[in-house]
Amino acid sequence: MSIQMYDPKREYITHKKAIDKSIAQVLDHGIFINGPEIKELEQKLSIFVNAKHCISVSNGTDAITIALLALGVTTDDEVITVSYSWISTAEVISLIKAIPVFIDIESGTFNMDPDKLEQSITAKTKAIIPVSLYGQISNIDKINMIANKYNIPVIEDGAQSFGALYNGKRSCGLTTIGTTSFFPSKPLGCYGDGGACFTNNDILADKIRAIKSHGGIKRFEHKYIGINGRLDTIQASILNVKMNYYNDTLIKRNNCANYYTNKLHFLQNKGFVLPFIKENRQSAWAQYSILANNKQQRDNIVEYLKKNNINVAIFYPTPLHTQECFSYLFVNSKIPELPITMDICNKIFNLPCYAEFTHEEQDNIINLLRSYLI
């Protein structure tokens, strides 16, 4: 049995008739950019998140870029974020010539540690970007409280957490601007690239809409420097279908994660750490993430599983603050010490966890882990 981290074809086969019909409607009307499906999707997403405005964009990376530009972040401004994330979170800060400031994460949730936040705020801090990693939302209440104290906007990077809950409220509707990604392997994925920004602020919403379309407020009138960051209509048509059953998708993702947890107690007896979801949160389960005892053990397990046709992953083996592309930040200063980040990068490995993943496939992984350790 060969197992991939994610197989988008399974969901497509299950809902093929509805998805094909929705795509065909776009092909028939021929409005491939800014077609009616875009507005329909934005309305669905806005209601789901309970945010006043949803603005669809070309991908999750552009969503963060546009959010920063809408907030006026510019050259030499500082943006506090985490080093334990996919590179999009921090590269866009550098791309607009601002300065990423990396702080450490919590060992249990892998999310931004709010206790490390205030000490990193300076007069140059213009935004904070917590990442809701692996599907669980950061400690947003505490982050927002600190941010409000200094009048700093917060952008939630919800690329992996769309649909997750925090005190009954959805990811992407909890901060100044929320962003997400619809990359195919994300909890809500399209069949290419896609993303969205969410906000309750009318002024920011108008600015985001303009920036994603070359800064234009109307055709041939450009108020801002912007980008070509629109979501195409076919991707919106696919997401419209998926939104019709997305609550069921989230239930199945949680069932998949619970099945792992119920069956992997033997790992805990060997010192491994299983995912920890805080009481007031519900994860969207982008992956199921486990900590081994050390790097060598982790690497050996991943190699063993891959030899047995289980394509597990390591998200992320190298923290951002140690990547060559960010070395320019530390020419005249020490590389920050982020001990929790470094420890997690050396120990973590990630198992497939999605709605169409079967218990039989999970049992195959579980049995291989058992046979390796016992």
| pLDDT at residue 374 in the model | 83
- pTM listed for this prediction: 0.98
| pLDDT at residue 190 in the model | 98
**138 neighbors 161 (Cβ within 8 angstroms):** no
Q: Is residue 307 within a helix (H) or strand (E), and if so which, with residue range? A: helix 295-307
| pLDDT at residue 333 in the model | 92
**154 neighbors 147 (Cβ within 8 angstroms):** yes
Q: Where in the chain is the domain with CATH 3.90.1150.10?
A: 246-373
Average pLDDT, the chain: 98
User: Regarding the domain delimited by 8-103+110-243, which CATH topology (the fold level of the hierarchy) does it fall under?
Assistant: Aspartate Aminotransferase; domain 2 (3.40.640)
pLDDT tens string 128-172: 999 999 999 999 999 999 999 999 999 999 999 999 999 999 999
Q: Where in the chain is the domain with CATH 3.40.640.10?
A: 8-103+110-243
- In 3D, which of 182, 136, 165 has the Cα closest to residue 286? 136
CATH of 246-373, one of 3.40.50.2000, 3.30.43.10, 3.40.50.800, 3.90.1150.10: 3.90.1150.10
Total length of the chain: 374
Phi-psi group of 121: left, alpha or beta (phi > 0 → left; psi -120 to 50 → alpha; rest → beta): beta
**Distance (Å, rounded) from C-alpha 327 to C-alpha 341?**
17
Count the Cβ atoms, other than its own, within 10 Å of residue 47: 11
Q: How far is CA 64 from CA 20, 229, 349, in A?
A: 31, 11, 26
Q: What is the token pair recorded at 35?
A: 């077609």
pLDDT tens string 187-199: 999 999 999 999 9
Count the Cβ atoms, other than its own, within 10 Å of residue 243: 17
